[in-house]
């Protein structure tokens, strides 16, 4: 079977790696892919949002299955167009992907169907928003929700910060002219629950936790994610049942009722608060870097599972009984400004996924993004996995990278 994976990050590298283990898959293509993916797949120079070229390529190569990674590709309708061209594609339609693209759509859906999430109000008038913030408690969460480009989330710990953020969003139109959603502040560990969804049917993947802050001990600015681990010792069976029965299954059913049935990976960004588990956000795709620690634990055939979802059958999902920890190596300066083009050596292991690399004109592997590499290790305990992942990281030679050393540590250090 021939498979085309759309995307170019660590997530897509992990998907390609999992597909390469399938006995059914003979050829893998990636559009556009990256330097690491190129070791396992044929990279084709097509942008992940160039729908027409992707469809033309898939037709010309008689691709049996397309797997879409990034949200941007879902949002421009890659799955819709592939399906119209009679090519099997794994992922939600553009309409269903709204659950990620529009905060208002997701929030309205959760309220209508009683899916637990933070209370919120939406405002376009600065004075009204200010009055609401003043009448409610601090901390509070302000999310820009306009149609214009850009998205801002501010967790305001003081009234001054909240007022500042409201001014930015509603008076100065820092992100464009739009609305602000003011949300109840929730507290507790966050975790990622990705499920394969086929209309009303929900098939859970193993859970993972991302680490969003740049430096050890959750210090520094928020990033796209600096590391992850799986599974999660702090999630009890009761938590799992609640997340399935009160959140993921009702959401899949709600999407069907709303006329936008979901197929693909539904990602619940959840928080375990002292008042129960609540939804922070939904994504319409595999998480990055969660995918890079979850898929290495999958022992069943991922190609069969993708096809089962596309065809409306029950997928087989079996997991290795071990822990995985993955550490991001990021360019110094990230998530702020950073330089590219530094040579990387000793990153040949199959357990290193590429997030932002390229081969330069001299044939060297060089840094080419904020997040550059992702080193994953397995262990019988989280501590063992952490040690092995750090060892893998220490072997990589590059003068412009930094990383966290404490991924997963909260779960095993008392």
Chain centroid offset of residue 76 CA: 18
Closest CB 19 distance from ligand AMP, rounded Å? 29
Q: Which residue reads 């022992």 in tokens?
A: 299
DSSP state of 207: P
Task: Find out whether 301 and 1 touch, Cβ atoms under 8 Å.
Answer: no
Q: Name which position in 290, 328, 393, 396 contacts ligand GLY (CB under 6 A).
A: 290
- Look up residue 320 and give its two tokens: 């290795």
Closest CB 100 distance from ligand GLY, rounded Å? 9
> What is the torsional sign of CA 225, 226, 230, 234?
negative
- When CB distances are held under 5 to 8 angstroms depending on the partner's kind, the choice from ligand AMP, ligand GLY, none that residue 185 binds is ligand AMP
Nearest residue (CB) to ligand AMP, 278 versus 297: 278
70: contact with ligand GLY by CB under 6 A: no
Cross-strand bridge partners of residue 122: 181
- When CB distances are held under 5 to 8 angstroms depending on the partner's kind, the choice from ligand GLY, ligand AMP, none that residue 246 binds is none
Task: Find out whether 330 and 403 touch, Cβ atoms under 8 Å.
Answer: yes
- Strand duo 153-156 + 89-90: pairing: unpaired
Cis peptide before 357 (omega within 30 of 0): no
106: contact with ligand AMP by CB under 6 A: no
288: contact with ligand GLY by CB under 6 A: yes
Closest CB 315 distance from ligand AMP, rounded Å? 27
Closest CB 269 distance from ligand AMP, rounded Å? 6
Closest CB 63 distance from ligand AMP, rounded Å? 33
Nearest residue (CB) to ligand AMP, 80 versus 290: 290
Q: Which residue reads 């290795």 in tokens?
A: 320
Cis peptide before 137 (omega within 30 of 0): no
Give residues with Cβ within 8 angstroms of 341, minimum separation 6: 360, 366, 367, 368
Closest CB 58 distance from ligand AMP, rounded Å? 32
Q: Name which position in 185, 203, 338, 412 contacts ligand AMP (CB under 6 A).
A: 185
138: contact with ligand AMP by CB under 6 A: no
- Look up residue 389 and give its two tokens: 């992942």
Q: Name which position in 280, 322, 343, 409 contacts ligand AMP (CB under 6 A).
A: 280
As a whole number of angstroms, the distance between CA 395 and CA 402 comes to: 13
As a whole number of angstroms, the distance between CA 25 and CA 32 comes to: 19
- Look up residue 191 and give its two tokens: 């975790």
Site for ligand GLY in 196-225 (CB under 6 A): 210, 225
Nearest residue (CB) to ligand AMP, 186 versus 393: 186
Closest CB 72 distance from ligand GLY, rounded Å? 12
281: contact with ligand AMP by CB under 6 A: yes
Footprint of ligand GLY (CB under 6 A): 210, 225, 283, 287-288, 290
Footprint of ligand AMP (CB under 6 A): 118, 141, 153, 155, 183-186, 190, 269, 280-281
């Amino acid at each position: 079977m021939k498979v085309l994976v759309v995307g170019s990050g660590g997530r897509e590298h992990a998907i390609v790696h999992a597909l390469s283990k399938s006995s059914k898959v003979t050829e893998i293509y990636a559009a556009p892919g990256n330097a690491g993916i190129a070791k396992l797949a044929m990279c084709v120079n097509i942008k992940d949002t160039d729908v027409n070229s992707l469809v033309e390529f898939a037709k010309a190569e008689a691709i049996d299955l397309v797997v879409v990674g990034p949200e941007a590709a879902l949002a421009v309708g890659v799955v819709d167009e592939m399906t119209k061209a009679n090519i099997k594609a794994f992922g939600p339609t553009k309409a269903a992907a709204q659950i990620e693209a529009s905060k208002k759509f997701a929030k309205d859906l959760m309220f209508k169907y009683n899916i637990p999430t933070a209370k919120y109000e939406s405002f376009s008038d600065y004075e009204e928003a200010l009055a609401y913030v003043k009448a409610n408690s601090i901390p509070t969460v302000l999310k820009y929700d306009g149609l214009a480009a850009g998205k801002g989330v501010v967790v305001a710990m003081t009234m001054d910060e909240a007022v500042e953020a409201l001014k930015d969003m509603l008076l100065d139109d820092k992100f464009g002219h739009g609305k602000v959603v003011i949300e109840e502040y929730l507290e507790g560990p966050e975790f990622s629950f990705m499920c394969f969804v086929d209309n009303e049917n929900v098939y859970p993947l193993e859970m993972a936790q991302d680490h969003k802050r740049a430096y050890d001990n959750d210090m520094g600015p928020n990033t796209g994610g600096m590391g992850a681990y799986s599974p999660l010792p702090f999630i009890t069976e009761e938590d799992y049942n609640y997340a399935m029965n009160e959140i993921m299954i009702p959401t899949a059913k709600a999407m069907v009722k709303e006329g936008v049935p979901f197929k693909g990976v539904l990602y619940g960004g959840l928080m375990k608060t002292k008042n129960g588990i609540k939804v922070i956000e939904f994504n319409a795709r595999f998480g990055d870097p969660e995918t890079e620690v979850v898929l290495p634990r999958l022992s069943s055939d991922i190609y069969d599972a993708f096809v089962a979802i596309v065809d409306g059958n029950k997928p087989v999902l079996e997991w290795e009984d071990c822990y995985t920890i993955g550490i991001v190596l990021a360019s110094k300066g990230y998530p702020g400004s950073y330089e590219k083009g530094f040579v990387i050596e000793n990153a040949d292991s199959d357990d290193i996924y590429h997030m932002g690399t390229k081969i330069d004109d001299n044939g060297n592997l060089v840094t080419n993004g904020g997040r550059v590499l992702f080193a994953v290790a397995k262990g019988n305990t989280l501590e063992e996995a952490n040690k092995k992942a750090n060892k893998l990281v220490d072997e990589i030679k590059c003068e412009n990278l930094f990383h966290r050393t404490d991924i997963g540590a909260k779960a095993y250090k008392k």
